Amino acid sequence: MMYMLADESRFIDRSQKGDLAAFNALVECYQRQVYNLCLRLLASAEAAEDATQEAFIAAYRRIDSFRGGNFRAWLLRIAANASYDELRRQRRRPAASLDAAMAVQGAAEAPSPAAGPEDEALRLELNVHLQGGLATLPSDQRLAVILRDVQGLSYEELAEVMHCSIGTVKSRIARGRARMREYLVARRELLPRPFRLMDEE
């Protein structure tokens, strides 16, 4: 997924003392995950890039406020906030349409060599629908589903990122998934395997 720093806390320590190189090592380590979170939250490569940069700048400026704990959760929280800011900015000025954004995103995804061209097309289509479904969720449910199901964080980490209880995490995930399910089931005919199979059951 991404390489881990052997001794993360030492880099954090040095960052807090103003060592930009140490901080940039952390950036290199987490930028992919941060960018992907922003991309799923914003559904726009361009906006995700801006939000990611903003998130790292904010992280550096606020690194002193990190007092141990899960650095990834701390960073992802900042990234989520940067994304929400970006979303607000976009809403103020009508940005590129969602479709265009998703096209960009689809193109950005590397085709998996294992699958045939047909499967590949289906997969891309499914991804577009997934992104469309995510866009319909309320922001807290969207964040929960992305962190949990797309990025694979634990419930505990989600609670840290979202500053809420495990119970709240549980319910946000459950509601987000339920909505996603409804969204996909409503587009069953358009979807590849799993949902079609279900239909035939």
Interface residues with other proteins (CB under 8 A) are 1, 18, 20, 23-24, 27-28, 31-36, 39-40, 45, 49, 52-53, 56-57, 60-65, 105, 108-110, 112, 123, 126-127, 130, 145, 148-150, 152, 155, 170, 173-174, 177-178, 180-181, 184-185, 194-195, 198, 201
CB of 26 to other proteins, least distance (A): 10
Q: Which is nearer to other proteins, 57 or 121 (CB)?
A: 57
Whichever of 7 and 112 has its CB closer to other proteins, that residue is 112
Q: Which two structure tokens, joined as six digits, stand for 102? A: 């998703």
Q: How far is the CB of 48 from other proteins (least distance, A)?
A: 8
- For other proteins, the closer CB: 45 or 76: 45
95-130 burial, b at 16+ Cβ within 10 Å, e below that, comes to beeeeebbebbeeeeeeeeeeeeeeeebbbebebbb
Q: How far is the CB of 165 from other proteins (least distance, A)?
A: 13
> What is the smallest separation between the CB atom of 22 and other proteins, expressed in angstroms?
11
Q: Are 59 and 75 in contact (CB under 8 A)?
A: yes
Minimum distance from residue 17 beta carbon to other proteins (Å):
11
Closest to 195 (Cα-Cα) out of 175, 177, 181: 181
By C-beta, is 37 or 73 nearer to other proteins?
37
CB 69 within 8 A of CB 105: no
Q: Got the DSSP string for 140-196?
A: HHHHHHIIIIIS---HHHHHHHHTS-HHHHHHHHHHHHHHHHHHHHHTGGGS-HHHH
Residues 73/157, Cβ–Cβ less than 8 Å: yes
> Of 73 and 173, which CB lies nearer to other proteins in the complex structure?
173
Q: Which is nearer to other proteins, 58 or 95 (CB)?
A: 58
Of how many residues is the chain composed?
A: 201
In the complex, the smallest distance separating the C-beta of residue 177 from other proteins, rounded to whole angstroms, is 5
Beta carbons of 157 and 72 less than 8 angstroms apart: yes
